Every structure is written in C-alpha cells, then in structure tokens.
C-alpha cells in the first residue's frame, strides 16, 4: 500500500514499477479513503502503542493506494523491497531507504506474514482479486 504521504509525493507509479520490474503480478489495485474503524482493524495489533493515535490520523490524512501483488515469496520479498520500518535504518535501494526519513512518514505498507497478507487482502479487497496469466511467466520462473 502507498500511504497518504506516498500518494501525495507522487510515488504510486514508482512503487508499482519496482514490483512489476521485479516480476510480481498485480492482481488488485485501488485508491481508498479508509474509515477510522477500518484502519483500527488493519493495525489492530498496534492498538496499545503510544504512536497508535498519530498513526491513524496520518493514515486518514489523504487517500491510500492499495495493491495486491502475487509471485514467488511475495510477502518476504515485498518486505525486503520496502525496507526497514524506520527509514533511517532502511537500506538504500529499498523504497523507504530511497524516499523516506521519518518512521511516521514511511510512505508504504507491506504485509509481514502470509497469514496477515490473507487477512489484509480480505479487509481491503472484499470484492476479491483477479486471476490471470502473465505471458512472460516462463521468462520470470524456471
Ligand atoms: P511496518 O509498517 O514496517 O510493518 P509496524 O507494523 O511495526 O511496521 O508499524 C506500522 C506503522 O506504524 C509503521 O509503518 C510506522 C508506524 N510506527 C511503527 N513504529 C513506530 C514508532 N516507533 N513511532 C512512530 N510510528 C511508528
Ligand atoms: Mg506492519
């Protein structure tokens, strides 16, 4: 997901491009203005954290762009492409390491486990995702 700062800073295309070029297949995408309740469901495990109210305010400060990418080890590889949560420790070459400085403005979200990815896909895309074949699949996978 491109967070409101990622959308505002014109980074939707950059994020999609990085995942596309890596070989991942986009199977769902949309802009959304989530409600407070929706974000509290999304970040339910962080409810007790001191930064939680600020996180929800930030996440409601503008539209987010939600994406589902499919491919080999998509969760683990996707997290590596995003970089560490705090951009100050994100490696250069990662999305956060190239475009962000502050942990509370880290421009993107990525599911941290397959289980959470499944939950988040259901939460953000109740209408489901699209299944199709990339004609280049045999050039991406052996
Ligand atoms: P991630 O987004 O890398 O999965 P997380 O799930 O631990 O990280 O936290 C969700 C978001 O909350 C994170 O992207 C930015 C914000 N956040 C995390 N730790 C924070 C902190 N110490 N201070 C401020 N915001 C924080
Ligand atoms: Mg997380």
Splitting the chain (142 residues) into consecutive groups of 10 residues, what average pLDDT does each group show?
99 98 98 98 98 98 99 98 98 98 98 98 98 97 98
CA of 126 to the centre of ligand 1 (A): 25
Angle of helix 74-82 relative to helix 12-22, nearest 10 degrees, comes to 130
Residues around ligand 2, an ion, CB closer than 5 A: 112
Question: What global pTM score does this model have?
Answer: 0.97
ipTM: 0.98
The dihedrals phi and psi of 127, each to the nearest 5 degrees, come to: -75, -10
Distance 135 CA to ligand 2 centre (A): 33
pLDDT at 118: 98
What 3 state SS string does 7-21 have?
A: HHCCCHHHHHHHHHH
Cα-to-centroid distance, 137 and ligand 1 (Å): 34
Whole-number Å distance between alpha carbons of 40 and 13: 27
**Ligand 1 atom with least separation from CA of 79:** 3
Proximal ligand: closest to the CA of 58: 1
Ligand 1: residue of 55, 102, 117 to mutate (most ligand atoms within 8 A of CB) is 55
Catalytic residue among 26, 109, 116, 134: 109
CA distance to 11, 18, 67, 107, 117, per residue, from 87 (Å): 16, 18, 21, 10, 22
The residue whose CA has the least distance to atom 25 of ligand 1 is 104
Q: Could you tell me if 104 and 58 are in contact, meaning their C-beta atoms sit under 8 angstroms apart? A: yes
Q: Is 109 a catalytic residue?
A: yes
């Amino acid at each position: 997901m491109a967070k409101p700062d990622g959308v505002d800073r014109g980074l939707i295309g950059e994020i999609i491009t990085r995942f596309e070029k890596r070989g991942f297949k986009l199977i769902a995408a949309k802009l959304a203005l989530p409600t407070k309740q929706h974000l509290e469901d999304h970040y339910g495990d962080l409810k007790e954290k001191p930064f939680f109210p600020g996180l929800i305010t930030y996440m409601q400060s503008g539209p987010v762009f939600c994406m589902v990418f499919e491919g080999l080890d998509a969760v683990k590889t996707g997290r590596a492409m995003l970089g560490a949560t705090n951009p100050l420790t994100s490696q250069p070459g990662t999305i956060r390491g190239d475009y962000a400085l502050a942990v509370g403005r880290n421009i993107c979200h990525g599911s941290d486990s397959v289980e959470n990815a499944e939950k988040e896909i259901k939460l953000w895309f109740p209408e489901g995702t699209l299944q199709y074949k990339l004609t280049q699949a045999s050039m991406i996978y052996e």
